[in-house]
Structure 1
Amino acid sequence: MKRYQINRVLGILLLVISSFSCSSDLNFDQVNDLKLKPVVVANLSYFDVPANAFVENGIEYNMAFDALDFDLFRDKYFRSYLQRADLSFEVSNTINRSFQMGIVLMDENAQPIYTIPFDIPTYSGNAVVVKKTDVFQGLKLDLLKSAKKMGFVIAMNPGPVLSENSLGNLKLRSSATVYLTIE
């Protein structure tokens, strides 16, 4: 019985203490001053091309092209909040040839509007890694927003002949870091 009385007294005491709280006038106008600045990182594209993909029926092809949809900015709210975008690329070469590569941003008519060029050195025992980050702000950001496709042009420079048994790969990894301001 004694325990019941102690719990009852503590419960009443707790209820009395919690009813005396401090409060102040709330200022909901502070919401108008709210500014969010999220940063979002996302994967863009990836490919892994083996050396023998440049050879078909014993004939070496010096050029490769592929395009994919790139309508990342179709949402009008996302477009209006976007302040900056950093496109980062990492190309790894383990093929005994050097390459010229271009990442081409194209408009809705598949016309090039911006190109990011790469010089990829020849593999010489250690994997060659080329990293590049392209920052899009201001007018350059407007070009990026208008891009609807991203193309990859790979041109093989002169060097040792490749065969269907050639070893090595050309790999690309890329990501986008976007900076938004929401007011």
Structure 2
Amino acid sequence: MLKRIIPVLLLLIVTSCVKDVDFDQVDDISISPVLESSLIFFDFPASEFEEPTGTAIVTVGDDLELDVFNDEFLRDNLIKAEFFFEITNSIDRSFRADIIMYDENDQITYAFAIDVTPNGNTEVITTHTELFEDALLEQLKNTIRLELVLNMFPSASGIPLNQNSPGNIKMRSKATLFFLIDTEDN
């Protein structure tokens, strides 16, 4: 008799714990992933800025294509972006890093500058975060090319840099992209 009651009790216990499942809940999912990616990096020795007088402004530059903003998923779901820059300077000169963004018509969509100060040949670390939200985020989404222009300013002492001058200037940066993927709106 007990052998017959146990299966019936087990069946009642198992079925009594079952609840109706609302499969439409999958339509109401909202997730907020964050993506980090390297952006710009360089490492220039002082000799890269060799100039004979110590009084010249020396400029180096580079371009980076940003075709990621052409992606429909990114354009529709990106809610915020942060560009973080870390510049380490051990060259006895002041620098300015200009970051200029362009649209498909080669028009400037946004620009900002980072001033980098020296401390003799001791390493000085300068950090900068540029935040893109709301209207600035829309300007970023229209960007297809980023240009970096690094200007070295004249020496206060007038001593020129040469092949044997000590120090480096290094930049590393990353982009952090914040998304909101809300299936309720789709």
TM-score interval, normalised by the smaller of the two chains: 0.7 to 0.9
Distance 1:19 1:68 in 2: 66
Q: Deviations over 1:58-107 (max 9, x none)?
A: 68761112112122222101110000001101111011111111111111
Distance 2:168 2:66 in 1: 25
Residues 85, 137 of structure 1: 8 Å contact kept? yes
| Counterpart check, 1:171 vs 2:170 | yes
Residues 104, 151 of structure 1: 8 Å contact kept? yes
Deviation of 1:32 (Å): 2.4
Q: 7, 20, 34: which is aligned to 1:39? A: 34
Q: 80, 87, 93: which is aligned to 2:89? A: 93
Deviation of 1:125 (Å): 4.2
Note closer, same or farther for the CA distance 1:104–1:55 as it changes in structure 2 (3 Å cut).
same
Note closer, same or farther for the CA distance 1:166–1:18 as it changes in structure 2 (3 Å cut).
farther
Q: What are the within-5 Å matches in structure 2 for residues 1-183 of structure 1?
A: 17=10, 21=14, 22-55=17-50, 62-159=58-155, 160-183=159-182
Distance 1:31 1:121 in 2: 53
Count of residue pairs the alignment pairs up = 170
Residues 80, 132 of structure 2: 8 Å contact kept? yes
Tell me the secondary structure at the aligned position of residue 73 of structure 1. helix
Matched letter for residue 34 of structure 2? V
Deviation of 1:17 (Å): 4.7
Unmatched 5+ stretches in structure 2 = none
Query: Quick one: percent identity of the two aligned structures?
Result: 34
Distance 1:144 1:53 in 2: 31
Distance 1:137 1:107 in 2: 18
Distance 1:88 1:95 in 2: 22
Matched letter for residue 26 of structure 1? V
Distance 2:106 2:161 in 1: 31
